[in-house]
Chains A and B, each alone.
Chain A
């Protein structure tokens, strides 16, 4: 990819490979270092525009790669990882940034997007690989920070065989065909949900979120549109907004016939989502550009039409920003509640395997939680695109429209 001739690529920077050779402790591998002297850079001829048109100096990658490999070799040889792995990680990161940035300058413009996407995917994988290595060499305590391969195994085990309590990570949904034979469709789905940590958590997040969302929009829109309502509710709402919702869990438990059932958890999630959605809806409604209200009034919109055609669509970007915060908060609340009061769910899974000292399975719970968060955010973004088609292909910003 980097060898393609591309006159568009910026090439005005001085060739950095010279600095690679200056590196004293540089046992540069033959492949990259040999390429550099073979292609001596001619002294910059003529004008800047001529220099811009010069061939892409892809060998510029030699210097950072050599530095990276060299550093890693030397640092490993002197036992630096065991001494101060964090210092090694810091330098490695800096060298990686140098390499990646040089790559960015060298890569043909038409491949730039693919390059950046690759970088965004590869770096996390590299982190996992680094973790694997550090844990494998003993630089990182494998007991408390088990290598990702162990965690992957734990995820696999938790998925395929039920634990002693009869639960599994996903509820083994592949059993569905045979379960339908035994229990019918509803029964089969019920059995899977009953076994699954992920579905238990997802269900709590989703139901609580939806239950909090609807009243949040109504109260927020009222507060945004009506000054009196806003003045009356502002202090009360602000006070509750800052209260960590998990703190009301004990009192919520009292309100339910079965304090250990799903009711209290879902209620706390709903309450937490409510405040985020309400506050953002209020801000969104207040932020609707005055001119749109003038247009609505001038064209004779009644109050309902004003909400439906002007205020709500105008506030939607901010409302959706609220949804995103609320969803994240819902996940936090559910995991926290599952830590203390649940027999099922990714939070319960995490805390349980911490208590029985099985770190790989604990990490399996953590990673599953992360995956759920990412999944929910993607789902919400997809909904956002459907609900706000006018913000598609905008590509520039996430700011509300003016």
Chain B
């Protein structure tokens, strides 16, 4: 399967992202207001973003900047107050769900085994039992959990749970993969390992990914492009293309080019974080 997609693989080093034919995701002037007592809360304002096929775009911003709201709009879990949002279907004619979300707290069902969890999306789409279990089994093996296929989540560590959650999303073969701070709840070492695993999976699978994180390091390490958002209301402040060579390895994160990008993004973000903290004080 991955070979078939190989040709379509977007590579930021062979031409600029803007040259891609039709973008995968087009978000155009998205607004989201939540009703509240008194003034409605404006979570997103004038947010426009296009993501190319096979691109991995990270969104960073201070907490409460609406990045999760943006992801929930992309996921169809919320409706935008105004603006438009489109995810282009693949042209290979295959029936795919539009998106699948990897949630921060994993959201894997404690009452289902690892295999049943991974097969969940397929089951909801009515894929026959044997077929969905075969596909799920393949994904369970790919994320290195073959030994735990029949285990229940409470027997797994945090990193393993997040692997289940990622396998569940990928087994559903969505048009785009949406990840909402998927490693936020993990310890630093597990995070590092999981970041490399996510890169491996992505490099083989060529999914279009929108990745929400509050970690600049993570964003730079994983992404083709990093979007910085402002605080209250959430707006796009800046975009940074990450033209570091791939495949990337964690050792590179100590390099000068990596440090320069990190600094650039931080200089954009710093004001926003300070503004958020001042607002909270």
Chain A residues with a Cβ under 8 A of chain B:
291-292, 294-302, 305, 309-310, 313-314, 316, 388-390, 393-394, 401
- In the bound complex, do residue B97 and residue A299 qualify as a contact, i.e. CB atoms below 8 Å apart? yes
Q: Which residues of A are found within 8 Å of B110, using beta-carbon distances?
A: 390, 401
Q: Does B274 contact A (CB under 8 A)?
A: no
- In the bound complex, do residue A300 and residue B77 qualify as a contact, i.e. CB atoms below 8 Å apart? no
Nearest CB in chain A to that of B111: its residue: A313
Q: Given that A389-B152, A390-B154 are known contacts, is A295 also in contact with B107, CB under 8 Å in the complex?
A: yes
**Separation of A401 and B155 alpha carbons in the complex (Å):** 13
Nearest CB in chain A to that of B154: its residue: A394
- In the bound complex, do residue A298 and residue B105 qualify as a contact, i.e. CB atoms below 8 Å apart? no
Which residues 216-242 of B have a CB within 8 angstroms of A? none
Shortest C-beta distance, B239 to chain A (Å), equals 27
Query: Which of these binds chain A: B80-88, B118-126, B253-261?
Result: B118-126
- In the bound complex, do residue A388 and residue B154 qualify as a contact, i.e. CB atoms below 8 Å apart? no
Q: Does B75 contact A (CB under 8 A)?
A: yes
- In the bound complex, do residue A390 and residue B124 qualify as a contact, i.e. CB atoms below 8 Å apart? no
- In the bound complex, do residue B124 and residue A310 qualify as a contact, i.e. CB atoms below 8 Å apart? no
- A291, A298, A390, A394: the one contacting B75 at CB < 8 Å is A298
Shortest C-beta distance, A299 to chain B (Å), equals 4
Shortest C-beta distance, A386 to chain B (Å), equals 13
- B75, B103, B111, B168: the one contacting A388 at CB < 8 Å is B111
Identify whether the interface residues of A are mostly helix, strand, loop, or mixed: helix
Q: Which residues of A are found within 8 Å of B152, using beta-carbon distances?
A: 389-390
- In the bound complex, do residue A299 and residue B109 qualify as a contact, i.e. CB atoms below 8 Å apart? no
Which residues 68-105 of B have a CB within 8 angstroms of A? 75-77, 97, 99-101, 103, 105
- B112, B124, B153: the one contacting A301 at CB < 8 Å is B124
Q: Which residues of A are found within 8 Å of B113, using beta-carbon distances?
A: 390
- A300, A314, A390, A401: the one contacting B125 at CB < 8 Å is A300
- In the bound complex, do residue A298 and residue B120 qualify as a contact, i.e. CB atoms below 8 Å apart? no
29 pairs across A/B with beta carbons < 8 Å?
A: A292-B107, A292-B109, A294-B77, A294-B107, A296-B124, A297-B76, A298-B101, A299-B97, A299-B100, A299-B120, A299-B121, A300-B97, A300-B124, A300-B125, A301-B124, A309-B109, A309-B112, A309-B120, A309-B123, A313-B111, A313-B112, A389-B152, A390-B110, A390-B112, A390-B153, A390-B154, A393-B155, A401-B110, A401-B111
Q: Does B137 contact A (CB under 8 A)?
A: no
Q: Which residues of A are found within 8 Å of B120, using beta-carbon distances?
A: 295, 299, 309
- In the bound complex, do residue B154 and residue A298 qualify as a contact, i.e. CB atoms below 8 Å apart? no
- B100, B105, B125: the one contacting A291 at CB < 8 Å is B105
Q: Which residues of A are found within 8 Å of B121, using beta-carbon distances?
A: 299-300
Q: Does B195 contact A (CB under 8 A)?
A: no
- In the bound complex, do residue A299 and residue B103 qualify as a contact, i.e. CB atoms below 8 Å apart? no
Q: Which residues of B are found within 8 Å of A302, using beta-carbon distances?
A: 124
Shortest C-beta distance, A193 to chain B (Å), equals 38
Q: Does B172 contact A (CB under 8 A)?
A: yes
Q: Which residues of B are found within 8 Å of A299, using beta-carbon distances?
A: 97, 100, 120-121, 124, 168, 172
List of 6 A-B pairs having minimum Cβ-Cβ separation, nearest first: A313-B111, A390-B152, A295-B107, A299-B121, A291-B107, A401-B110
**Separation of A390 and B109 alpha carbons in the complex (Å):** 10
Nearest CB in chain A to that of B125: its residue: A300
Shortest C-beta distance, A288 to chain B (Å), equals 11
